[in-house]
Structure 1
């Protein structure tokens, strides 16, 4: 249980940092930076809890998650130049948050005896991408999961890895595997510039005109 809590705090901090970094790049004011950091860190868990009927959501009922997110955002503001100096810092922290919350979300479904594979994967995906989707919408960007980047697929494969290993190892080991799979796929995709194919509407129109 303690390790699961540590997972949640790790993901909360990572997502709060990624949201705050984007907010600073978009030149939001201090309130906007803090709000975007909180949204990125907490929204996925809130959406998950509402979907599984857990009212009030844990992230709102227990203030420590709010406080940790707030602190992470404040630290990002104070040490922005140092954090930004790391290559792909936003992508790195975002990938950590994606991996952690995918694992936590899928585990949450399994822990309340929701054993249907589709539901487990869906809870992992929703928890992993929920905060990032709202973050991107708030700054008027197309969410990463809707673009050609390997983002949602990394979360889905991570959730599947947890499902496949849940009865073979202890739950904590399965969480580590899920986090590692999701994070690794996401970072390799960024490094190797893997992209999901998009529909080239213009070329299809040109082909139809020529024919």
Structure 2
């Protein structure tokens, strides 16, 4: 197992658990909890593959990530009381998932010989945040990436780093540099509470 594959597994597990935890918090039934966890872990990759013309998507043709996600959801249900105690640590694993999926998504576009910067960056972003966006929409929450959190920006920055470096250094190093950049930006943003400015709407006072 390569170092990158290891991180993808960690990210898949983390996203599946985070989706499962939210499903339980929202008092969904067992099927709903599992579906929300699977969506969080797999939807980004499925959307990316469809956009790039991979039919059927990798996550469906090769079920290894589906099985890992399913097992993670089941374990979340069975050991919810213990897992929720470590909910604060999910920020770390979520950042790992975001970073690894960003690198994999942007690299998938480059491997198809797509070099258009907007396309490459978009694939990294879609893979990194797609599952989380759908998860939040399903439970009627404003997606994290649409709030003031430095989340999507971290993914975009990592994708840019991969795009800039992949022709000048070995591909594996470029992937790790993308992963590292995305992860560090996300974790620093959480630690130092960096936020994107919020647009405030002025309300008129009725006299």
Say whether the fold is shared (TM-score over 0.5).
yes
Partner residue, 1:144: 144
Partner residue, 2:18: 18
Deviation per CA, 1:93-126, whole angstroms, max 9, x where unpaired?
3222111110100010111111111111110001
Whether contact under 8 Å (2:7, 2:97) holds in the other structure is: no
Cα pair distance change 1:62/1:139, threshold 3 Å: same
3-state secondary structure, aligned to 2:150: coil
Q: Which 10-residue stretch deviates more, 174-183 or 46-55?
A: 174-183
Partner residue, 2:60: 60
3-state secondary structure, aligned to 1:86: helix
| Partner Cα separation in structure 1 for residue 93 and residue 99 of structure 2 | 10
Partner residue, 1:103: 103
Residue 132 of structure 1 deviates from its aligned partner by: 0.4
TM-score (norm 1): 0.89
Q: Structure 2 matches for 1:71-86, cutoff 5 A?
A: 71-86=71-86
3-state secondary structure, aligned to 2:86: coil
Partner residue, 1:39: 39
Number of residue equivalences: 206
Deviation per CA, 1:6-48, whole angstroms, max 9, x where unpaired?
4432322121111112212222222111111100011001100
Deviation per CA, 1:126-176, whole angstroms, max 9, x where unpaired?
111100000000111000111111111010011111122212332222222
Cα pair distance change 1:169/1:79, threshold 3 Å: farther
Structure 1 residue runs of 4 or more that deviate by more than 4 Å after TM superposition: 1-4
| Partner Cα separation in structure 2 for residue 67 and residue 183 of structure 1 | 25
Q: Unaligned 5+ residue runs, structure 2?
A: none
Cα pair distance change 1:28/1:93, threshold 3 Å: farther
| Partner Cα separation in structure 2 for residue 126 and residue 117 of structure 1 | 14
Alpha carbon RMSD of aligned pairs, Å?
Answer: 2.0
Whether contact under 8 Å (2:7, 2:96) holds in the other structure is: no
TM-score (norm 2): 0.91
| Partner Cα separation in structure 1 for residue 26 and residue 91 of structure 2 | 16
Residue 4 of structure 1 deviates from its aligned partner by: 4.6
Cα pair distance change 1:88/1:39, threshold 3 Å: same
3-state secondary structure, aligned to 1:202: coil
Partner residue, 2:192: 192
Q: Unaligned 5+ residue runs, structure 1?
A: none
